[in-house]
Structure 1
Amino acid sequence: MMFSGTMERNGKIKDYSCERLEPVRLPVLARCYVIPNNRSSFTMNEVKSENVMDRWIESFTNSLVQFVRNEMSEYRLYAVVNPLTRFFDTLTNCYIRLNRKRIKGDFGIDDQTHALSALGRVLVLIVRLMSPFTPFFSEYIWQRLRNIIGAPEESVHFTLLPTSDNTLIDEVVERRVQAMRDCIDLVRVSRERKGIPVKYPLKEIIVVNRNSQFLEDVKSLEQYILSEVNVRQLTISQDKKKYGIMLKADPNFRALGARLKGDQKKVVDYLKNEVTDNELEQFLIEGVLFRLLTVEMASLLYLDMNLLQKNSVSVTQVLKAIQTVNGYETNSDGKTIVMLDVSEDSLLVEEGLAREITNRVQKLRKTAKLISTDPAIVYCTVRPEASKITEVLMLHKERIEEATGTPIFLEALPSNKSATATNVSTIKDAEVSMWLVAKSAANVVTVSSNGNTVSIKLTSNSDEVLSYRDLLYEIRSALDLWEGNVSLTLSNGTRFHPTTPVEELSGQTVTVQT
């Protein structure tokens, strides 16, 4: 059990076990594996990257280091655990997700090296920072990084708690990325509300915010936003009237009640029913709300001046109309309103279906434990044949093959071939059957557990034979068997001994016992 104790506000010791990190631990490890798998050719680059996402993740990480050290210096250890665990969600769902093509090398070796180096540096920094709180998790990652970075320390616990590099902290970049993430989150919620998966492209998003700096930040990262939410066009605007947006005053009942006592209701009624958009605009600019009122009302709002201050009122943007307006699904966090064009377009629908098929092929490759350079082919049939899916396959076949690196044959699996992985699924009322055949079955073992079957490569990307421990990790990852102990049983009923060379499993079928 992995744990460390930290003191809470009430002085009690709280144990933070590995379960606290379970939602983020395994996805991170799977993504970190890209580095050790390329260790034979990858060398960390210490040159500062000019890519905005590389600059952001290093700035974000160093800001976190600064925050943790400040809190620990004040003995507020309870305050650092949540930001540390949330860091991995940010790392995986923002940095790695938005940079997966760069990390894979789609934009060239130099760009890949910058991305992997930035990822490696922040991982080294964060595992050193987390080591007092999650010692075994940090050690696990450290052992997979230390050879790449050339660290002499055999354990992360032989290193000092890191200090932040203030030269890498860029508040402007952090602000821009936060604006981008706010917009992406709002669009995702809108898609979920309408039941439109991200794989289906949409025409346009309109971002409305009265803050010009926010809109400039959003525009500066336009391509990342459009790519992540799969939308063709981004429009930004401060013109709330054009889109039927009004300002709304939200009284701070605690602040008003403490000052106004029983007269609070009169002021609240004024704020909710009488205050105008122009007055609220002025309030946002000057920080005070001024209006010539009756003597009775004036006596309620600071005896000598008719004003309310920002600690008494907050202002948000809301739509005058209903949630879906003229084909646009709207969402808001109070400051920003995002309008997503959800109207149907036949070309975009076809593109979405093509991405559905691409996704199925990629999942097959993942099930077969193939990397992007491993050759394979896919056989595919569609029932009924006269369906929209068949039409999309014919029109977008080359594009799907290019995206997956896998040739597709529109026919059933030939009788003289054996499938490495199979998939049968339904897309738009059509049954799509796929068979993936890896061109080389050498150094592959077939593993089955509870009716699930996968093929596992016995060598790493650098052609090194996996250790028994690494093989078990691959099996656990492929079959989602993270709980309890596992053992391997050969087809003849004998148990595979951990000391037996792993390469002897090549071409065999084994069963996992838990």
Structure 2
Amino acid sequence: NKYVDSLIKLVDGLTNWFIRRSRRRFWEKGLSEDKKNAYETLYYVLVNMTKLFAPVAPIISEKIYQTLTDGFSVHLASWPEIPVSFKDDTLLTQVELVRNVIYLARSIRSKNNVKNRQPLTTLGVALSDKNGIPVIESFRDIIAEELNVKNVQVLDSVDSVAAVKYAPNFNEIRSRYPDRIPDIIKAVKSGKFALTANGAELEINGTKECFDEEIILVTYQAKAGQHVASEKGIIVALDLTITDELRDEGVARDIVRSIQDARRQIDCAITDTILIDIKGDVPSQWLDYICRETLSQMQELSEADMTFDLTYENGKSVRISVKK
């Protein structure tokens, strides 16, 4: 169902991108213009999103709409009319590219059992479409933060991290050019082709002909010591070397995640400041970071709303107490 698929993408973008990326804006002290804009944007999207969900999820849409607006019923509300000035296709395309880069890099972490909370040194990005390079450069800090890497490098060529392999894409050839199957397969296998801005240029019987680029399957084999993932002309390489300094930072980030979970379990509002008491093998140089990221203050606690232990592969452990 295309309608439901579009709604799912909307929710994913709202929760896994806008809300998470705006967390510090929501936590900012006072009511700055930026914080006000973040809340107003979130409210506007939520109210209009309930109207969009109403035809396919009538009950939950009604509940959310009435909670947000005190209105009579979402099913009696006018259909959303989004101002033309709100539309920015260029920004949407840029964010889609950035999120695809992030998705591919996270797939490398997942495949190699390296949690996103573990900091890494370098991410390399190569693009078949060079027009995307300024986008990666302008979103460099966001990509680094999302992937928890220290450096994001735009690679001039993928050759430094992977070997490129080409093969006939049999399904696409059969689907698009059923009368030319033998000629196309022979040309691709013999290497008599070039990928251009206009598609795939093949030399067949001494004559150059253009075909859709999808007839050629492009894969990337990581070179020794490299970890590579690719999709739709995007190639990313992630350095998975973990130093002692990076490991300590990873422990700090894991503590942050655990305290965030505890905040939810003891029913803290997003703006509530909590008290924490951490004992054990906690990297002391990261205590300020832990407090800042969890909106908490360090204090010796004789009583706590919640206490839990974290144990790590190197045998180190910490005990964390949390009080609302």
Alignment of 1:358 onto 2:275: no
- String of CA shifts for 1:187-239, please: whole Å, max 9, x gaps: 11011111111111111111111212222222222222111111111111342
State the match for 2:212 in structure 1.
310
Q: Aligned pair in 2 of structure 1 residues 103, 436: CA closer, same or farther (>3 Å)?
A: closer
Q: 3-state SS of the aligned residue for 1:224?
A: helix
Q: Aligned pair in 2 of structure 1 residues 191, 404: CA closer, same or farther (>3 Å)?
A: same
Q: Aligned pair in 2 of structure 1 residues 332, 215: CA closer, same or farther (>3 Å)?
A: same
- String of CA shifts for 1:93-148, please: whole Å, max 9, x gaps: 1221222222333696211111111111122222122222222121111112215x
Alignment of 1:96 onto 2:19: yes
Residue ranges of structure 1 left out of the alignment (5+ in a row): 1-77, 148-152, 295-304, 383-388, 439-514
Pick the aligned partner of 1:289 from 201, 208, 212.
Answer: 201
Residue ranges of structure 2 left out of the alignment (5+ in a row): none
State the match for 1:202 in structure 2.
120
Alignment of 1:435 onto 2:288: no
Equivalent residues of 1:317, 1:336 under 8 A apart: no
Equivalent residues of 2:256, 2:293 under 8 A apart: yes
Alignment of 1:134 onto 2:20: no
- String of CA shifts for 1:270-289, please: whole Å, max 9, x gaps: 31x2115xx323xx224352
Determine what percentage of the aligned residue pairs are the same residue. 22
Pick the aligned partner of 1:348 from 229, 237, 246.
Answer: 246
Q: Quote the offset at 1:177 in angstroms.
A: 0.4
Q: Quote the offset at 1:422 in angstroms.
A: 1.4
Equivalent residues of 1:246, 1:317 under 8 A apart: yes
Residue pairs, 1:55-74, within 5 angstroms: none
- Between the two proteins, the alignment pairs up a number of residues equal to 321
Measured in 2, the distance between the counterparts of 1:114 and 1:353 equals: 34
Residue pairs, 1:93-242, within 5 angstroms: 93-105=16-28, 109-146=32-69, 153-242=71-160
- String of CA shifts for 1:299-347, please: whole Å, max 9, x gaps: xxxxxx5424117x4345432x4x4x35331101141110011112221
Equivalent residues of 1:201, 1:352 under 8 A apart: yes
Equivalent residues of 1:200, 1:349 under 8 A apart: yes
Q: Which amino acid aligns with 2:267?
A: K
Q: Aligned pair in 2 of structure 1 residues 96, 250: CA closer, same or farther (>3 Å)?
A: farther
Return 205-214 or 128-137, whichever deviates more.
128-137
Q: 3-state SS of the aligned residue for 1:259?
A: coil
State the match for 1:79 in structure 2.
2
Q: Quote the offset at 1:418 in angstroms.
A: 2.7
Q: Which amino acid aligns with 2:173?
A: F
Pick the aligned partner of 2:292 from 387, 402, 407.
Answer: 402
Measured in 2, the distance between the counterparts of 1:406 and 1:130 equals: 36
Structure whose CA Rg is larger: 1
Q: 3-state SS of the aligned residue for 2:36?
A: helix
Q: Aligned pair in 2 of structure 1 residues 335, 258: CA closer, same or farther (>3 Å)?
A: same
Q: Aligned pair in 2 of structure 1 residues 328, 107: CA closer, same or farther (>3 Å)?
A: farther
Q: Aligned pair in 2 of structure 1 residues 328, 348: CA closer, same or farther (>3 Å)?
A: same
Q: Quote the offset at 1:376 in angstroms.
A: 4.1
Q: Quote the offset at 1:360 in angstroms.
A: 2.7
For normalisation by structure 2, the TM-score amounts to 0.87
For normalisation by structure 1, the TM-score amounts to 0.57
Larger relative CO (CA 8 A, sep 6+): 1 or 2? 2
Equivalent residues of 1:180, 1:225 under 8 A apart: yes
Measured in 2, the distance between the counterparts of 1:309 and 1:127 equals: 45
Measured in 2, the distance between the counterparts of 1:267 and 1:132 equals: 48
Q: Which amino acid aligns with 2:241?
A: S
Q: Which amino acid aligns with 1:333?
A: E
State the match for 1:269 in structure 2.
186
Q: 3-state SS of the aligned residue for 1:80?
A: helix
Q: Aligned pair in 2 of structure 1 residues 256, 398: CA closer, same or farther (>3 Å)?
A: closer
- String of CA shifts for 1:31-90, please: whole Å, max 9, x gaps: xxxxxxxxxxxxxxxxxxxxxxxxxxxxxxxxxxxxxxxxxxxxxxx5312222332122
